[in-house]
Chains A and B, each alone.
Chain A
Amino acid sequence: MLELFRDANALWVLAGTTLLGISSGVLGSFAFLRKRGLMGDVLAHSALPGICLAFLFTGSKNPLWLLIGATLTGLLASLFLSWITRFSKIKEDTALGLVLSTFFGFGIVLLTQIQHSDFGNQAGLDKFLFGQSASLVGTDVVMMGSIAFILILLVSLFFKELKLLCFDANYGKSLGFPMVGLDFFLMLLLVVAVVIGLQAAGVVLMASLLITPAATARYWTERLDHMIIISACIGALSGLVGTILSSVATKLSTGPLIVLAVTILFFISMFCAPKRGLIAKWLRLIQTRQKVRQEQIYQAWNQLGTQTTTLTALSEQSNLSPAQIRRWLNQKKRGGQVVEGSPDTFTLSSTSWKEASDTALLGLYMEMWHMYEDIETDCSIQDIEQLSDLPESLRAQLQYYLQKHISEEDQAKTYHSMKKVGIEL
């Protein structure tokens, strides 16, 4: 492990993969929010014809030419993509697959032609696509690093515009921003980010590095600026971990290990993230369920009208099974709010009895609130948890409607009972 840090070449590789993680993490966030996560896959595949064409025209394997070729075909692919979705009824996902496979097929045709004809020094062209991060040298990393730096600089300069593009493109248009131009600009940045990564990482790794850090970061925050920073950190971290692991286990190549590292981070976040994670959601669900159960039982108890009642009466009143109510009662018995007298007869303590009537009253108030739209108040219905949360003026209004409602209901009841016995009104 320590040897890794003494070996200059390995350090270059480490720096390269970390930079790659940062730049694709930053740009991937935008791709993710525009629902273009599979774009990385498409751009990475469509680089193949560009690489082959650059080689055919220049006859050299100078990475700069290959990069330019790959960028050009990548841009062409993204243009085709937007044309196909704009001018026909074909949907985004079909267009993605279409462009990906056609460009790659064209690339294979070119590649096999180059191989069959006598171009000599063509070996390793396809390696450009599979990636070989172990062979990164200083100059490669310097080039990658400077391009990555320019990309991040551009993103921070145009942050506001890109944010607008991701969240509300139509609004941006109405403000007078050139949204189509901005979309193309973002595409250009994405293409460059994918292309500089290809050489080091290969097609599949770029597809993964572009979207997985962004999807992971989305679990931790609701703000775009935080999301980009977290996504960059996750990209960098997985680049680091993957490279270090592959230097420890020399048989394993770096690319797949980086993918695995970032996937593991994704799954950890999916389960453990504080607000949006699965475990947090699951806990919230249980809490809500318990709260609703308590409200149901309190309301039923209140409607029965006595502080002492039986299990069967509660069960009939609330439409809950006896077992469900028994579980709740046992929980409350431990807290001392419920006392069991003779078997299956329960007495609610006076504080809980008060709480039960409050809950029932709040339930009625809420019904009124939903029913009558002309109630004037500044507070929102979601903020009300218990009776004491209601401001005095609001409570008075709700009380007024409740009484009106009850008297109307009474009138209707009398009317029906009078009709039943045949009295004309």
Chain B
Amino acid sequence: MSSIWIILTGALIASSCAFLGCFLILRRMAMLGDAISHSILPGIVIAFLVSGSRDPLPMFIGAAVFGLLCTIIIQLLRNQGVQADAAMSVSFTALFSIGIILISLFTQQVDLDLDCVLYGEIAYVPYDTWTWHGIDMGPRAMWGAGAAFLLSLIIVRLFYKQFKLTSFDPALAMAIGIPVAVFHYLLMGLVSITTVASFESVGAILVVAMLIVPAATAYLLTERLGVMLGLSVLIGTLCSICGYFLSVVLDASIAGCMTMVAGGLFALAFLFSPHQGVVTRWWIRKKLRTQI
């Protein structure tokens, strides 16, 4: 039973990350997931110090606030003419360091495992269950990831046209009166919430991987946004299932194996994608040459 819970949680996390990752890739902000997942550390520590417990809700709020704060700082710096990559690394490294300093200042009060934040351990997910009216509803992390996924699905479905246009042609979107900044921050908010809901169980690195790799794979396979969104969710789910079984075989970290599977799928798409693969293009060129 526990393996089904792990696969299901992993699939939900991978799907919700991959879904939003498509928009990040199209907006050329792929590294934002990395920045957000590092910068939520001070939020978690502060929430822990204020609430004095390991309750998930205050931690969730603290982390989401700092995730959003990080994107706001990045945007402010970019508006002041700072190069995009510099704006990103300056803000997330500073916030992460503040988090570490806070942890070392309040070592006695804070019982947070730094390794756990970065690596995460999805194998423990089934033991932290949510009981509702005395009924065991399954792992809490699964419900969190599911809720985040549902929220993104609803919001993106509602404003699909606007998200599409602001991702592909922000200048046109602005010209016809779509509030580009509002949709930017809406997306950032969704990414923050999804990152925060996922990282506790799978670690920051898997969140970054799932935000980028399945979406990039889907990007190579299609030229339509709708298809890309569907494909990336499918690939994310596949990564979760294959990654789990690979981890059983190799006796290694589940999150790491899921990332490896995602990387492998990307490599396949990179080489053999029907229109854009390196090998397929080479093959088409060779066929053309013999025809001529």
Contacts and interface: CB of A to CB of B under 8 A. Distances in A.
Interface stretch (A30-38, A286-294, A354-362): A30-38
Given A108-B256, A112-B256, A212-B93, A260 B211 contact: no
Contact of A256 (B85, B97, B276): B97
B80 A260 contact: no
A101 B209 contact: yes
Interface in B1-40: 25, 28-31, 33-34, 38
A101 B90 contact: no
A215 to B, nearest CB: 4
Nearest to B99: A256
B213 interface: yes
B259 A101 contact: yes
B153 interface: no
A88 interface: yes
A212 B213 contact: no
Contact of A266 (B85, B90, B252, B262): B90
Nearest to B100: A256
Contacts of A211: 85-86, 89-90
Contacts of A97: 30-31, 33-34, 208, 211-212
A394 interface: no
Contacts of A102: 209, 213, 259-260, 262-263, 266
Q: Is the interface of A mostly helix, strand, loop or mixed?
A: helix
Given A97-B30, A97-B33, A211-B89, A252 B101 contact: yes
B80 A278 contact: yes
18 contacts: A35-B83, A37-B83, A37-B85, A94-B28, A94-B212, A98-B266, A101-B206, A106-B256, A106-B260, A106-B263, A108-B119, A109-B247, A110-B252, A205-B93, A208-B97, A211-B89, A259-B93, A260-B97
Interface residues of A, number: 56
Interface string B236-270: 00000000000100111101111110110010001
B89 A40 contact: yes
Interface of A: 32, 35-38, 40-41, 45, 84, 87-91, 93-94, 96-98, 100-102, 104-113, 116-117, 126, 130, 204-205, 207-208, 211-212, 214-215, 251-253, 255-257, 259-260, 263, 266, 270, 278
Contacts of A107: 256
User: What 8 A-B pairs are tightest by C-beta distance, nearest first?
Assistant: A105-B259, A37-B85, A101-B209, A108-B256, A102-B263, A208-B93, A256-B97, A109-B256
Contacts of B155: none
Instruction: Place the interface of chain B in its size category.
Output: 35 or more
Contacts of B31: 38, 41, 93, 96-97
B211 A212 contact: no
Nearest to A278: B80
A54 to B, nearest CB: 18
B204 to A, nearest CB: 10
B96 interface: yes
A40 B90 CA distance: 12
A105 B206 contact: yes
B252 A116 contact: yes
Contact of B82 (A126, A130, A270): A270
Given A38-B89, A94-B25, A212-B93, A108 B34 contact: no
Interface of B: 25, 28-31, 33-34, 38, 80, 82-86, 88-90, 93-94, 96-98, 100-101, 104-105, 107, 114-115, 119, 205-206, 208-209, 211-213, 216, 219-220, 247, 250-253, 255-260, 262-263, 266, 270, 276, 278
A109 B252 contact: yes
Contacts of B208: 97, 100-101
A130 B115 CA distance: 10
B219 A90 contact: yes
A256 B28 contact: no
A305 to B, nearest CB: 42
A115 B88 CA distance: 34
A40 B89 CA distance: 9
Contacts of B30: 91, 93-94, 96-98
Contacts of A90: 216, 219-220
B176 to A, nearest CB: 25
B211 A204 contact: no
A97 B251 CA distance: 26
B86 A101 contact: no
A259 B94 contact: yes
A93 B74 CA distance: 15
